[in-house]
Amino acid sequence: MNWSIERKLPLFVTVLLLAVVLALLIIGYGEVRRASRQLANARLQRASQQLAESFQRSLAQYRTQTLAVARDPGVVAFLISRGQHAEAQARAALAHIALDTVSNIAAELWTTDGQLLLRSGRLRSTAAVFPATDSAAVSPLMQFDTILHYQVTATVRDGAQVLGTARHVRRINLNAQARAMLTGLAGGDALLLLGNAAGAPWTDFASVVSAPPATVLQSATPARYERGETKRASAAAVPGSPWMVVVEVPSRLVLAPARAYLRRMMPIAALVVLLGALGGWVGSRRVTAPLREITTAAEAIAAGELDRRVQVTSEDELGRLGRSFNTMAAQVTRALQTTEMRLRSVSETAHDAIIAADADGIIQFWNPGAARMFGYSADEILGQPLTVLMPARFHDAHRTGIRRYVATREAHVVGKTVELAGRRKDGSEFPIELSLGAAPVNGVLSFTGVIRDITERIRSAAALEATNAELESFSYSVSHDLRAPLRAIHGFSRILLEDHNAKLDAEAQRLLGVIDQNTRRMGQLIDDLLAFSRLGRQEITAGRVDMKELTTVVADDIKRAEGERNGKLEIRIGALPPARGDRALLRQVVSNLLQNAVKFTRGRDNARIEVGSRLEGKQTVYYVKDNGAGFDLRYADKLFGVFQRLHRAEDFEGTGVGLAIVKRIVQRHGGRVWAEGKVDEGATFYFTLPFEES
């Protein structure tokens, strides 16, 4: 946003306060929410455990009553006689559990084959359920229509013989009053559920309901689930029975304290943000007023009012800033005046022409160098179009280029140095070198050109080209004229050796051999010298060069040329990154260095040559290392000179031009060469080339 600091600062303070307040609200809400959940979880677990223990105590009482009936002598006698004797005693025992007049409890005696012998109470049970032990067993909850009931069963025995069972049947009263009473025990906003751990039926003590999900029944801690709405529930098993109790409470009630916290804190937070925004606005006004004055003064100075200053009225940081600004403005004014004087001095004393024009190509500035070069005085040329300084054939292209650059900033000449033709006042043309730039001046586009008369340069270049042509002709002539007598000397010496050998004594034969050897060496020297001279004129065709493949090919050619020595010559080629250059010239570099290494290792039985590389910045350093004769490091600077040799020609052949050729090729590729070595300990030759991405 391009707003002022006066607007941005209050906005920043407001946004920062809003972020802090929101963060505090979120953190506080989260803490209250977490605490509410913890309290609800503890309450639910405590309520479910207490209710489970309450049911356990009731069931323990019913089991005790049922066991007492099962062990009563009258009941045992009654079952032994299968109802023929002791009925009064048995009925009296059953009356301890239920009287005949009650409708929600029953006490029964059953035979082992499922025959009901005696009942007290009006509630009827289902088929007999035999306990696994002699203790009384509590059955799962059972449903008949809308009635839920359960039974406590105890085995009646005569010694080891099972006679039947005594059964205590109880109905669970389902009504609103029962649910309200039990809900009060669990807490006024909690709901109590009772049911079988294995599944249906379940009840909330007002009606039969669906069983809670297994995740609630199997969880050791309170769990969330959906039943009409999101609820949080805790389950507990009733010891001594297949029942479970679940105490649940709606999640909205659990989170009510957190929502109440938000309702209370949000107005306070809004007030804090509002006060912060107001304070930020007031502070911004106080801080930005001096800054606005400084900004206005700076803009005035930039517009040319160099005497503009700010009023300093305080001693605080803003006051010190105002005084510093005034000091800086004074220094800038002096610097601008000094710079203007220097620029005027440079433009007036420059030998080159310096010309400035506006976006329409109208000349606005004209230095003395331009007057000397073109012959126009400043009064004659200022306000004239640039086309008066160029031949007519360039006028249309010039106007098109200016319009295109002003409209699109597409530069063909701007920002570059080009060679063109200029036109003097007298109408004569001359070659010029133009460096053109463009930049806004006081919001208006301006072109500035520096023009140099290159008549002498072109004349010198033409003379140099003529000289090179003469040198080329001379090189050819030297090559041809020197080779002819050399071929004659070589031919006649060979004739004498081959046709008149018998007539020559040993000394004459030796001298003719020396003549033959030196003529061949002279021919090789001429070839190398011509190759060296041609390197300065040969065009370089740059491209990607696989140095590994190139070195391998050259090494194979050299080993084949060595003949019998091939088996004793080891050339190891390591990792060689690709380079950028002329493949033919780089092949000559590698060939010359490998041949040099092969030549100076001829005195070694185990000649070893190693080719490798390493990276240095954006260049690759390649090296050729051998274990040959080596050289004295004090004379390393002579290795790459023409005709420079550090060994006798009798020991090692050569013309002293090969390493000079290597140096010239590498330098033309923008690299450098050097060597390291020790006498009789070998030598290493290094050269660098631009790195080429794989």
Q: At what angle do helices 176-186 and 5-70 cross, to 10 degrees?
A: 120
Give the confidence band of 610 by pLDDT, cuts at 50, 70, 90: very high
Q: Tell me if the bond preceding 201 is cis, omega within 30° of 0.
A: yes
Where does the pLDDT of residue 647 fall: very low under 50, low under 70, confident under 90, or very high at 90 and above?
very low
Start-to-end C-alpha separation, the chain: 45
Residue 240 pLDDT = 87
pLDDT at residue 567, as a whole number: 61
Tell me the mean pLDDT in the region 450-454: 91
pLDDT, tens digit (0-9, with 9 covering 90-100), for 289-344: 777 777 777 777 776 677 777 777 777 766 777 778 778 878 877 777 777 777 77
Consecutive H or E run containing 453 = strand 444-453
Q: Where are the alpha helices (DSSP H) in 169-255?
A: 176-186, 214-218, 251-254
Nearest to 670, CA basis, from 624, 620, 625, 623: 620
User: Residue 377: its pLDDT value, please?
Assistant: 92
Q: What letter does residue 385 receive in the DSSP assignment?
A: B
Average pLDDT value for residue range 565-577: 81
Asked whether residue 446 carries a pLDDT value surpassing 60, the answer given is yes
Please, which pLDDT band fits residue 652 given cuts at 50, 70 and 90?
very low
pLDDT digits (tens, 9 = 90+) for 371-380: 999 999 989 9
Contacts of 502 (CB under 8 A, 6+ apart): none
Per residue in 401-444, pLDDT tens? Answer: 888 888 888 877 888 888 889 999 999 999 999 888 888 876 78
Read off the tokens for 299.
Answer: 């803009």
Element (H, E) at 52: helix 5-70
Give the SS3 label for residue 144: strand
Reference 151, options 163, 139, 162, 159; nearest CA is: 139
Q: 683: closest CA among 558, 594, 591, 581?
A: 594
547 in Cβ contact with 577 (< 8 Å): yes
10-55 tens-digit pLDDT: 787 788 888 888 888 888 888 888 888 888 888 888 888 888 888 8
Q: Pairing relation of β-strands 161-172 and 229-237? A: unpaired
Q: Residue 354 forms beta bridges with which residues?
A: 450
- Cβ neighbours around 276 below 10 Å, total: 18
Is the overall model pTM greater than 0.85, yes or no? no
Least confident of 119-128, 250-259, 653-662: 653-662
Count CB atoms within 10 A of the CB of residue 454.
17
Do the beta carbons of residue 348 and residue 363 sit within 8 Å? no
**Mean pLDDT computed over 156-185:** 77
pLDDT at 186 over 70: no
CA pair distance 128, 133, nearest whole angstrom = 15
Average pLDDT score over residue span 83-98: 87
**Hey, what are 624's tokens?**
């050729």
- Does residue 438 contact residue 447 with C-beta atoms inside 8 Å? yes
Q: With a cut of 50, say whether residue 346 has pLDDT above it.
A: yes
Mean pLDDT rounded to a whole number for the chain: 81
pLDDT, average across residues 217-238: 86
Query: Which pLDDT value is given to residue 126?
Result: 64
Cβ–Cβ < 8 Å for 334, 307: no
User: Band of the pLDDT at 279, cuts 50, 70, 90?
Assistant: confident
For 654, the token pair is 């050569």
Angle between the 256-302 and 5-70 helix axes, to the nearest 10 degrees?
170
Give the DSSP H/E element, type plus range, for residue 556: helix 547-561
Long-range Cβ contact pairs of 127-134 (< 8 A, separation 24 or more): 128/153, 128/165, 128/167, 129/153, 129/165, 129/167, 130/155, 130/165, 131/155, 131/165
CB 25 within 8 A of CB 265: yes
Least confident span in 110-119, 164-173, 427-436, 632-641: 632-641
Indicate the pLDDT class of residue 132, thresholds 50, 70 and 90: very low
What is the torsion angle, in degrees rounded to the nearest 10, for the CA atoms of residue 194, residue 197, residue 199 and residue 202? Answer: 0
How distant, in Å, are the alpha carbons of 96, 186, 374, 462 from that of 459? 141, 113, 19, 5
